[in-house]
């Protein structure tokens, strides 16, 4: 910081930092509570968390909103529509995003948006390729919308059919996969899951109870 803050400004800054610390503590506690509530569903959390753009906490959040198997949604399009990430009814998902997406579940839409924004930064990821393909035509927001819609369909498939995510883009290096697996293992353990790392594969057990 530059300048010469007076004592009042310094005290105000301290108050803001204390509030931020409290919010971080509450977020961590809520994440642990979610993990306890998902006892027995560690495999589902892992399947979602392994997809590009997702992690242990965001996987928990999406499952808490839609269910461990997305049973309420018969099709991927039904899920995408409910989440509010489909384009207008007169255009397709990947041709014209000039119309706004319909209203939907704002919490799930936020999770999908954040996951899409993270996934397009992953080198060699199919979502990054999809984003680049539509960036010039639709702009950043429109291209993210395309990725978000595809992301919704992928997450529905992972939950509904209990399948693993398979990368269709350029293969990452073994070193990158191992690093990703290690980070995911640490995140799962922090939430209370019993996670073991075997080569580049992760096995999980339900969250440990006190």
Answer left, alpha or beta for residue 94, where phi above 0 means left and psi between -120 and 50 means alpha. Answer: alpha
Tens digit of pLDDT at every position of the chain (210 positions): 577 778 888 888 889 999 998 888 887 787 777 777 667 777 888 889 889 999 888 998 899 899 999 999 999 999 999 999 986 543 444 554 444 555 678 899 999 999 999 999 988 889 999 999 999 999 999 999 999 999 999 999 999 999 988 877 665 666 666 777 777 777 777 777 766 655 444 455 555 544
**Other beta carbons within 10 Å of 67:** 15
Residue 9 has a pLDDT of 84
Q: What local confidence, expressed as pLDDT, does residue 91 receive?
A: 43
User: Rounded to the nearest 10 degrees, how much is the dihedral formed by the CA atoms of 167, 170, 176, 177?
Assistant: 20
Residue whose pair of structure tokens reads 């690093």 in the numeric block = 179
Q: Is 169 exposed, middle or buried (0-12, 13-18, 19+ CB in 10 A)?
A: middle
pLDDT value, residue 8: 87
Q: Which residues are bridge partners to 196 per DSSP?
A: 203
User: Which helix (H) or strand (E) covers residue 158, if one does?
Assistant: helix 126-161
Question: Residue 169 has what DSSP assignment?
Answer: S
């Amino acid at each position: 910081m530059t300048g010469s803050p007076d004592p009042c400004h310094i005290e105000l800054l301290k108050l803001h930092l204390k509030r931020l610390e409290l919010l971080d503590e509450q977020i961590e506690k809520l994440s642990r509570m979610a993990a306890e509530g998902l006892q027995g569903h560690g495999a589902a959390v892992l399947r979602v968390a392994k997809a590009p753009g997702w992690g242990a906490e965001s996987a928990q959040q999406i499952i808490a909103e839609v269910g461990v198997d997305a049973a309420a949604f018969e099709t991927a399009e039904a899920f995408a529509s409910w989440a509010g990430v489909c384009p207008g009814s007169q255009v397709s998902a990947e041709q014209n995003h000039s119309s706004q997406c319909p209203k939907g579940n704002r919490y799930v839409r936020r999770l999908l948006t954040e996951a899409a924004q993270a996934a397009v930064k992953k080198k060699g990821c199919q979502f990054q390729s999809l984003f680049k393909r539509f960036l010039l035509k639709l702009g950043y927001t429109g291209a993210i919308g395309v990725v978000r819609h595809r992301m919704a369909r992928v997450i529905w498939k992972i939950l509904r059919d209990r399948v693993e995510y398979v990368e269709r883009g350029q293969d990452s290096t073994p070193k990158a996969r191992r690093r990703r697996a290690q980070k995911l293992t640490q995140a799962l353990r922090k939430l209370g899951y019993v996670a073991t790392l075997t080569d580049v594969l992760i096995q999980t057990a339900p969250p440990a109870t006190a």
